[in-house]
Structure 1
Amino acid sequence: MTKHLIYFSQSADLFEGPIFDSKHQLLYFVSILDCLVYCYNPITKEILSIKLDSPTSNVYLISKKVVLVASKNGFYEIDFNTLKSSFKFQIDISNNVRYNDGIEDAAGRYIIGTMGYPEVINGIGNVYSYKNGESKIIIKNTTISNGLAFTADNKTLYFIDTPTKKVAKYNYDIETGNVEFVDYVIEFNGDGSPDGMYIDKDGMLWVAEWGGACVSQWNPTTGNKINEINLPFTNVTSCCFDDKSNLYITTAKNVEEPSNNNGSGLFYVEIN
């Protein structure tokens, strides 16, 4: 297993939301509090960025170098071919929340959670589903809505509300977009709290651990931890796989360890 620090910014507080476009071999991620969206080409090593006017949180793929990005002030289409952005829509959310992690389901719905901003407020968040101008709440009263992952058959949605230190399992109806809580399938008992999450081709969950300096791999059927990838940054925020089943990982600044971690990092871990 080989780890590469691809890009490092001394000033960035919070790298998040990596998503890999296998068709076009591009990685997207955000710097939430800097309101930035990045497009990274792992072949040419080129990094492009576009700044919006409010905190960014999640990227949805549209076409080559074109993405939809969730920001506090709404969802924007960003074209990295022209380095231009255009407002598309907004969901009716409170002024004291912002968007956080999200995912697109197989029917084209944009699923996204919210959390208190600028202050975290217990139970103020929700998880929304949006398609064709209509939105609805599918999970209520969350605090820090984070990782989301669908099983290959689209029948199960895994979800993380970070302060619970658990991964929840929901039955998912792809026809209606409705969810039904089943149970908590994974519990974190160490220093790390679950943040972003990705599901691999075998149905195993890879969870970034905020405060845990690692990404851990879990079997959601048994609740057992399978593997752990340690990182030199304490606050690990999210992860995703490329088409070679190797792992991109984002990390955040740790203000309590300024000498050890004074910025955010993007890592590439060669597992295969």
Structure 2
Amino acid sequence: MMFELIDTIDVKNYLGEGVTWDDQTQTVWWTDIEEKQLFCYQLSHRQLCAFDTPYRVCGFALTQQADVVLAAFDRGIALYHLISGNTEWLFQFPEGATVRFNEGRTDAKGRFWVGTMNEFGDKTASSGLYRVDTDLTVTKIEANVGICNGLAWNADATRFYMADSGQQVIYQYRFDIDSGEIADKAIFKQLPANTSPDGAMMDDTGHLWSALWGGSCVARFSPEGEPQYFAVPVEQPTCVAFGGEHHNLLFVTSACYQLSDDALQAAPKTGSLFIYQTDVTSAPRPRFAGEFHHG
């Protein structure tokens, strides 16, 4: 299995997350949640740019309009216009809520799925999983989750995967692509207490790739849950996505979040975006398919 580091984008993210490949522009996007920035990196020209955002972007999806993202901010979900800074809210948490949005991905129909986590108090307390349909309605789908992460689907969209990082577990569900409903929740993989499954993506062979926060590695799980581990040069990898011209590059974001000075000195590339050459592929996730007027 090839897993070769070919480039490092040293952006020093405090909490890099949500890495997403844009096949139309050959660009990789990700967020630094705590620094309120969205990054994009054009691969062939090696051009990096960053957008400041009014709130923390915890998850996002690209849309049919190049200058608009569907942003899961800490406090709610909105269409966010990158150039004008205009924010069109679709959903907001009530004042005083202790949860924020976290991981987000689009399914094969272009619906956006995004989970939440409790920021204060009990991190394992029940949080939620939400779905944004193409008519821009927001529906809470699941409540029995602590820190929602690692949203992924298999190639024929019959199975949905979701990690609960607080419990170090990855669940799988039966998925109905037409209705967008999930059912038959079961444990796919239970991980050790010191390792939390974070952002994930499925490859075309049915293996689930997961960034293991605290584990200094990325895992590739077989359809039966058997792991293969690939070391990365940081303690806190946060999210993975396939991309590149041939869809065989793996992008890995990372975080400096709450690490000691000694830990940062031991891993000086912490907070970077890492690009790995692999010998497997994964079809790119679709853009959010919702229709809306430019505003």
TM-score, with structure 1 as normaliser: 0.90
For 2:276 and 2:18, how far apart are their aligned partners in 1?
Answer: 16
**Displacement of 1:6 after TM fit?**
2.6
**Displacement of 1:156 after TM fit?**
1.1
For 2:53 and 2:122, how far apart are their aligned partners in 1?
Answer: 22
The one-character-per-residue Cα deviations of 1:204-227 (angstroms, maximum 9, x if unpaired) are 10010000001010113x2211x3
- What corresponds to 1:202 in structure 2? 205
For 1:264 and 1:6, how far apart are their aligned partners in 2?
Answer: 10
CA contact (8 A) 1:76 1:85 kept: no
Return the match for 1:259 from 250, 258, 265.
265
User: Which amino acid in 1 is paired with 2:278?
Assistant: I
Return the match for 2:191 from 188, 191, 206.
188
CA contact (8 A) 2:78 2:91 kept: no
User: Which amino acid in 2 is paired with 1:270?
Assistant: Q
**Displacement of 1:5 after TM fit?**
4.4
CA contact (8 A) 1:19 1:28 kept: yes
Higher mean C-alpha displacement, 168-177 vs 12-21: 168-177
**Mind listing any 5+ residue stretches in structure 2 that lack a counterpart?**
280-295
- 1:58 partnered with 2:65: no
**Mind listing any 5+ residue stretches in structure 1 that lack a counterpart?**
none
Higher relative contact order (CA 8 A, sep 6+): 2
- What corresponds to 1:142 in structure 2? 145
**Displacement of 1:50 after TM fit?**
1.1
Secondary structure at 1:85 match in 2: coil
User: How many equivalent residue pairs?
Assistant: 267
Return the match for 2:70 from 68, 71, 75.
68
CA contact (8 A) 1:75 1:87 kept: no
**Displacement of 1:271 after TM fit?**
1.5
For 1:140 and 1:180, how far apart are their aligned partners in 2?
Answer: 13
- CA RMSD in angstroms, aligned pairs only: 2.1
User: Which amino acid in 1 is paired with 2:146?
Assistant: T
Q: 1:241 to 1:187 in 2, by over 3 A?
A: same
CA contact (8 A) 2:168 2:193 kept: no
TM-score, with structure 2 as normaliser: 0.83
**What are the residue-to-residue correspondences of 1:65-214 with 2, within 5 Å?**
65-66=66-67, 67-78=69-80, 83-94=83-94, 95-118=97-120, 121-131=123-133, 132-189=135-192, 191-214=194-217
